[in-house]
Chain A
Amino acid sequence: EAGVAQSPRYKIIEKRQSVAFWCNPISGHATLYWYQQILGQGPKLLIQFQNNGVVDDSQLPKDRFSAERLKGVDSTLKIQPAKLEDSAVYLCASSPPLPGELFFGEGSRLTVL
């Protein structure tokens, strides 16, 4: 079974530039998550989708971050404009309905200079 796919794995940009990350969840998983993990900390939920609807985006900085999940499968997370403090690993995860496990991708590491 294929896992959660993410791209790009690494991205370096200047502040105020924009960046987009892509995620392809495990086939059949209705729930998709984006987490932000700053070095030395645990992951923090940015947004949770159920199919193509948003379940929770309370911690998403909506002035600069946006996310969409078209057709309830792939998802894209965009940052525009980027700030220095956005340097982090962006992790995508997917899960089947409860009580199934969450599975994570390898993450996309963003460095903002």
Chain B
Amino acid sequence: KQEVTQIPAALSVPEGENLVLNCSFTDSAIYNLQWFRQDPGKGLTSLLLIQSSQREQTSGRLNASLDKSSGRSTLYIAASQPGDSATYLCAPRNAGNMLTFGGGTRLMVKP
């Protein structure tokens, strides 16, 4: 059974800092991995999708890396802004098209 851990659980930083959010998973037999953002009271918004054959994926100030063999993924946020405040969730996906979520990292970026 896949288990996903996200560290840290919460993070509070001043605006402008570069951030690293960590995700680890126990079963490395994944098909891909998705990073999501969740604002309070809202659904999940997909940020990045990394296929198992890829090492990283970039979108704007976001960069996600994947080390499948060691069961780790990292989300890097450059030059953080108050609008980045949200919960970030990672979810590896197996060949059965099933996602398993971690507990998330609650990010607060202060002006």
B4 within 8 A of A: yes
- Expressed in whole angstroms, the Cα–Cα distance for A35 and B98 within the complex equals 11
Which of A45, A48, A99 contacts B31, CB < 8 Å? A99
- Nearest residue, chain A, Cβ from B48: A101
On whether A48 and B49 interact (CB within 8 A), knowing A41-B103, A99-B32, A106-B43, the answer reads no
What bracket does the count of chain A residues touching chain B fall in?
20 to 34
In contact, B46 and A103 (Cβ under 8 angstroms): yes
Closest Cβ–Cβ distance, residue A92 to chain B (whole Å): 9
In contact, A99 and B51 (Cβ under 8 angstroms): yes
In contact, B43 and A105 (Cβ under 8 angstroms): yes
- Nearest residue, chain A, Cβ from B89: A42
Closest Cβ–Cβ distance, residue A14 to chain B (whole Å): 23
A55 within 8 A of B: yes
Closest Cβ–Cβ distance, residue A35 to chain B (whole Å): 8
Interface residues of B in 40-73 (CB under 8 A from A): 41-46, 49, 51
- Nearest residue, chain A, Cβ from B46: A101
Which of A4, A45, A103, A107 contacts B98, CB < 8 Å? A45
In contact, A45 and B99 (Cβ under 8 angstroms): yes
In contact, A98 and B98 (Cβ under 8 angstroms): no
Contacts of B89 in A (CB 8 A): 42-43
A21 within 8 A of B: no
A34 within 8 A of B: no
Chain A interface residues (CB < 8 Å from chain B): 4, 31, 33, 35, 41-45, 48, 50, 55-56, 91, 93, 95, 97-99, 101-107, 109
A-B contact pairs, 13 of them (CB 8 A): A35-B101, A42-B6, A43-B101, A44-B101, A45-B98, A48-B98, A56-B96, A91-B44, A98-B31, A98-B32, A102-B46, A102-B93, A107-B43
| Additional 14 contacts, C-beta under 8 A, given A98-B93, A98-B95, A102-B91 | A4-B43, A42-B4, A42-B89, A42-B101, A44-B101, A48-B97, A55-B96, A55-B98, A93-B44, A97-B97, A99-B31, A101-B49, A102-B34, A105-B43
By Cβ-Cβ distance, the 4 closest A-B pairs, closest first, are A42-B101, A104-B44, A104-B43, A106-B43
